[in-house]
Amino acid sequence: MSAEGCFYVKINKSQTKTGYAVSLNSYITQHSRDQQLIASIADYLGCGTTQKDPKNLAVYFLVSKFSDT
């Protein structure tokens, strides 16, 4: 079994004083057959969300809320 993961900083335009908002994000990717594994990781950690890609080939565990870190 192998997985891919990533940590990244996302900058979006916003209504803040500077006009931008920064968010810290991380995700783990698995083949769609491992959807239960990704759901188990999210349940165990008690944070993040799980998503399927539009082509239904992969599932993601995504943490994007600062309060979840």
- pTM confidence score: 0.70
Structural domains counted in the chain? 1
Q: What pLDDT is stored for residue 58 in this prediction?
A: 92
Per the structure, the complete domain to which residue 19 belongs is given by 4-68
Q: What pLDDT is stored for residue 65 in this prediction?
A: 76
Three-state DSSP state, 3? coil
Average pLDDT over residues 24-50: 92
* Cα distance between residue 30 and residue 8, in whole Å: 18
Q: What is the CATH number of the domain that holds 41?
A: 3.10.28.10
CB 26 within 8 A of CB 7: yes
